[in-house]
Amino acid sequence: MMITKLEEKKQSMYDTVLNQFEKTADLIGLNPNIKKILSLTNNEIIVHFPVKMDNGKVEIFTGYRVQHNNALGPYKGGLRYHPTVDVDAAKALAMWMTWKTSLAGLPYGGAKGGIQIDPRNYSLGELERITRRFTYALGENIGPEHDIPAPDVNTNAQTMAWIADTYMSTKSPSERSQNQHVVTGKPVGSGGLEGRDRATGFGVYHTIKLLHRSRGETLEGKTFIVQGFGNVGYWASKFLVEDGAILLAVQDAHATLYNAEGISVPHLLEHSSPRKGSIKGFEGAKEIDPDEFFGLECDILIPAALGNQITEENAFKIKATVVAEGANGPTNPEGEEVLLSRGITVIPDILCNSGGVIGSYFEWLQNRNGELWQMDEVLEKLEKKLTQVFKNVEGAVKEKNTDWRTAAYIIAISRIELAYNQRGIFP
């Protein structure tokens, strides 16, 4: 059977996460029974549901929720609306969530899902109806103590508000308010956490800062380039520039922009927001060939878009000395081998972008306890938690004399192994 380019890409995202897992499992001598369990996903839920479009016609949509593992707590992870969403992509992304929540020491497992659509093709009203029908179709496969979705690519606080409202409406009046934490990343005012919007980007920035600090450097004058100017790319850029770094180039799905003098983050946001997120046409930078992006001279590269962007085909071009993975799975194993052999430090996704799920955990606690946390309190707690997680990984890098991803995986997988062993199931 002929494999299309797109299918090859999706296939390799799942291969990537399995390769990373198996490498660590072998390194730490993971109990073979636990290895078997973690190699597979617990549940793969696929739902088909009808939605009436603005023109009166009915379209059938396909939605996914893959629950990888819940040894440490309820399943947790985002929902993505994108044409590349399918069961393999969701499996890979769900596994990454398991490692991420474990590494961060959160009482969660890992899940991911979404709908295979390009949301740009639908009106706001249609997106609302699609989201509500998807939630209804998922039914009790999600739940505040069972599986808690959150925003990911092309979903946001509004999407989460529709999900929470639909899910809560299926409960009896007395139970409704106890179910608000069925999703995190909600709008502030509807149970959302102050600061969850910036939590992932803040984490990307903070881990980059900590890495530089551990080398006796600051971010003042450091140059960086960002792929993706959505939630993660924007907030990471904003915090970095506020700390003295210079944004040289930005790439999204529609354009690649470059300015040797630095790109203004607020101006680029102002330009891109009303145009549904695209940076194309921004006057504060020149548009360059997308193929030039990874080879640009800079200190830090932040992939903050989709998976499998840094591969053996372009890793040799990268000039940055630090790759900070805002996206999930942006580097394939072959690409990483090239980066490491060239002395480039990779801050792995499960550490670098973990600010998002840590923020989600705070929101979940806030809802569960009927509290309202303030922005300064949230950012302080987030910074403290991220610093602790970073130091744990840094310690393992030194102790095991290994790269950052392997160190992070050793911690994450060992914690899950310990939980299984403590239950006494696998002598």
Ligand X SMILES: O=C(O)CCC(=O)C(=O)O
* Interface ranges with ligand X (CB under 6 A): 76-78, 100, 150, 152, 184, 328, 353, 356-357, 360
How many other C-beta atoms can be found within 10 angstroms of the C-beta atom of residue 36?
A: 11
Give 211 or 305: the residue with its C-beta nearer to ligand NDP.
Answer: 305
Span interacting with ligand NDP, options 147-155, 169-177, 384-392, 393-401, rule CB under 6 A:
147-155
Of 289-308, which residues contact ligand NDP (CB under 6 A)? 304-306
Q: How many residues bind ligand NDP (CB under 6 A)?
A: 26
Q: 420 is written with which tokens?
A: 């299984």
Taking only Cα atoms into account, the Rg of the chain, rounded to an integer number of angstroms, comes to: 21
Burial class (CB in 10 A: 0-12, 13-18, 19+), 253: middle
Binding mask 70-99 for ligand NDP (x = CB under 6 A): ------------------------------
C-beta closer to ligand NDP: residue 152 or 336: 152
The option from ligand X, ligand NDP, none interacting with 162 (CB < 5 to 8 A, set by class) reads: none
CB 358 within 8 A of CB 72: no
d(CA 414, CA 72): 12
* Separation between Cα atoms, residue 303 and residue 235, nearest integer Å: 13
CB of 309 to ligand X, least distance (A): 16
34 binds, among ligand NDP, ligand X, none (CB under 5 to 8 A by kind): none
* Residue 326 in contact with ligand NDP, rule: CB under 6 A: yes
Least distance (Å) between residue 150 CB and ligand NDP: 7
Cβ-based nearer residue to ligand NDP, 34 or 296:
296
CA distance 370 to 57: 42
Between 256 and 309, name the residue whose CB sits nearer to ligand X: 309
Question: E-strand spans in 238-371?
Answer: 246-251, 256-258, 286-287, 300-303, 322-324, 345-347
Tokens of 174: 């007395």
Residue nearest to ligand NDP (CB): 230
Supply the minimum distance, in Å, between the C-beta of residue 15 and ligand X.
19
Give the separation between CA 402 and CA 17, rounded to whole angstroms. 18
Residue 112 falls in the annotated catalytic set: yes
1: which residues sit within 8 A by CB, 6+ positions away? none
Query: Do 32 and 427 contact (CB within 8 A), yes or no?
Result: no
Q: What share of the chain is helix, strand, coil (3-state, %, to 5)?
A: 50, 15, 35
Q: How far is the CB of 171 from ligand X (least distance, A)?
A: 21
- CB closest to ligand X, residue no: 78
Pick from 230, 338, 348, 358 the residue near ligand NDP by CB under 6 A. Answer: 230
* Residue 76 contact among ligand X, ligand NDP, none, beta carbon within 5 to 8 Å by kind: ligand X
Shortest CB 29 distance to ligand NDP, Å: 30
Choose the one of ligand NDP, ligand X, none that binds residue 303, judging by a C-beta under 5 to 8 angstroms depending on kind.
Answer: none
At 345, is the secondary structure helix, strand, or coil? strand
Q: Is residue 367 part of the contact set for ligand NDP (CB under 6 A)? A: no
SS3 state at 255: coil
76, 91, 112, 222: the active-site residue: 112
| Residue 280 to residues 224, 229, 275, 293, Cα–Cα distance (Å) | 19, 11, 9, 15
Residue 77 partner contact from ligand X, ligand NDP, none using kind-dependent CB cut-offs of 5 to 8 Å: ligand X
Helix (H, G, I), strand (E, B) or coil at 326: coil
- CA atoms of 353 and 419, how far apart (whole Å): 24
348 binds ligand NDP, rule: CB under 6 A: no
**Residue 278, interface with ligand NDP (CB under 6 A)?**
yes
Nearer to ligand NDP, 34 or 248 (CB): 248
By the 8 A CB rule, do 191 and 367 touch? yes
Catalytic residues: 112
Where on the chain is the footprint of ligand NDP (CB under 6 A)?
151-154, 200, 227-233, 251-254, 277-278, 304-306, 326-328, 353, 356
